[in-house]
């Protein structure tokens, strides 16, 4: 069981509203919003694996809610979190959903964003795969092995933490930086020894490839997912962010009560079997909370570890990527 209590939608929206108020942003009732004059378009970055946002897009929910305010919605797909954060860094998007490591890399690169909300821990939604007949039995056996993963993604942190817990130095493995599709191809032809990956790709490989789960993140890392906003947009359009987070919360509630139906809708979009998608959906919590000091402290641990290992070039303070409290 998660150590986080299940958050009701009302409590979540109240928390978001309180956060926006503390930052001196305009906040009104969640049922009635006045559009900020600066917001004419809301640009969202998403990944096909980001189930809640994908379903929001498919259902046209935000378009319906923001149209009366004169705001159009533009969706841009990215292959993974690091690429999405690059889009946010160059001003191509206003909002997105990524894992726990991409924001650390983005902040170290000078991206001007703020943490908006997070999903409670989902440690079973990422794992390290090896071949069924491989002699690798524990994470410690990965020493000296070729391990594929998407550089800067959440599994980058998971792998580092798993190795550390098993007494293996990051410098003792051979990292192979590959996006999910390329990594699966390399795994299936035996070009790599192991693959660190997240759902639904994790579940698909377990079912469709000669893959064995060596370890998931349980007991190693929390595996949070984050909603991030471009700081200039968040500072001027707090009510728009509140609307989208209300919609996200409702969509999460719907998924938790309709796993099979959600999987059936996602299958043609994600190009995977509905059974694979449903299994992956059940590994995520679909419960979201406003950003708080505790989760920012967990992000700081990632940042400090990456800095010590020279994975990122500089030290950062993760709480700097949060909207300031009102003085």
Taken in order of first residue, the domains within the chain and their CATH numbers are 9-122+224-321 (3.40.190.10), 123-216 (3.40.190.10)
pTM: 0.85
Instruction: Confirm if 88 and 45 have CB atoms less than 8 A apart.
Output: yes
Ranges in the chain, pLDDT < 50 = 1-14, 16-36, 327
Q: What is the pLDDT of residue 14?
A: 47
Write out the chain in H/E/C secondary structure. CCCCCCCCHHHHHHHHHHHHHHCCCCCCCCCCCCCCCCCCEEEEEECCCCHHHHHHHHHCHHHHHHHHHCCEEEEEECCCHHHHHHHHHCCCCCEEEEECCHHHHHHHCCCCEEEEEEECCCHHHEEEEEECCCCCCCHHHHCCCEEEECCCCHHHHHHHHHHHHCCCCHHHCEEEECCHHHHHHHHHCCCCCEEEEECCHHHHHHHHCCEEEEEECCCCCCCCEEEEEEHHHHHHCHHHHHHHHHHHHHHHHHHHHCHHHHHHHHHHHHCCCHHHHHHHHCCCCCCEEECCHHHHHHHHHHHHHHHHCCCCCCCCCHHHHCCCCCC
Contact 187, 59 (CB under 8 A): no
Q: What is the pLDDT of residues 199-251, one digit of tens each?
A: 999 999 999 998 999 999 999 999 999 999 999 999 999 999 999 999 999 99
The pLDDT tens digits for 90-111 are 999 999 999 999 999 999 999 9
């Amino acid at each position: 069981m998660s150590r986080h209590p299940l958050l009701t939608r009302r409590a979540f929206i109240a928390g978001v509203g309180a956060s926006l108020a503390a930052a001196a942003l305009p906040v009104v009732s969640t049922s009635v919003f006045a559009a900020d004059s600066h917001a004419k378009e809301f640009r969202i970055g998403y990944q096909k694996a980001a189930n809640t946002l994908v379903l929001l897009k498919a259902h046209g929910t935000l378009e319906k809610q923001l149209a009366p305010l004169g705001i159009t919605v533009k969706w841009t797909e990215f292959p993974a979190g690091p690429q999405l954060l690059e889009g946010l860094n160059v001003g191509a998007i206003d909002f997105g959903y990524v894992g726990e490591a991409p924001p650390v890399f983005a902040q170290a690169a000078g991206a001007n964003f703020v943490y908006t909300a997070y999903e409670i821990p989902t440690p079973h939604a990422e794992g390290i795969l090896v071949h069924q007949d491989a002699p690798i039995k524990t994470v410690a056996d990965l020493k000296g092995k070729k391990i594929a993963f998407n550089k800067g993604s959440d599994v980058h942190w998971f792998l580092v933490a798993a190795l550390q817990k098993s007494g293996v130095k990051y410098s003792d493995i051979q990292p192979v930086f590959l996006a999910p599709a390329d990594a699966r191809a390399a795994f299936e032809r035996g070009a790599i020894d192991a693959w660190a990956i997240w759902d639904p790709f994790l579940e698909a490989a377990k079912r469709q490839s000669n893959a064995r789960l060596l370890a998931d993140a349980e007991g190693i890392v929390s595996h949070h997912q984050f909603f991030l906003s471009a700081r200039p947009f968040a500072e001027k359009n707090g009510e728009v962010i509140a609307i989208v987070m209300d919609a996200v919360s409702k969509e999460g509630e719907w998924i938790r009560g309709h796993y099979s139906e959600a999987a059936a809708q996602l299958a043609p979009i994600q190009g995977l079997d509905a059974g694979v998608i449903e299994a992956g959906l059940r590994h995520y919590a679909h419960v979201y909370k406003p950003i708080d000091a505790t989760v920012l402290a967990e992000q700081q641990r990632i940042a400090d570890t990456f800095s010590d290992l020279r994975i990122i070039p500089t030290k950062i303070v993760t709480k700097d990527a949060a909207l300031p409290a009102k003085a």
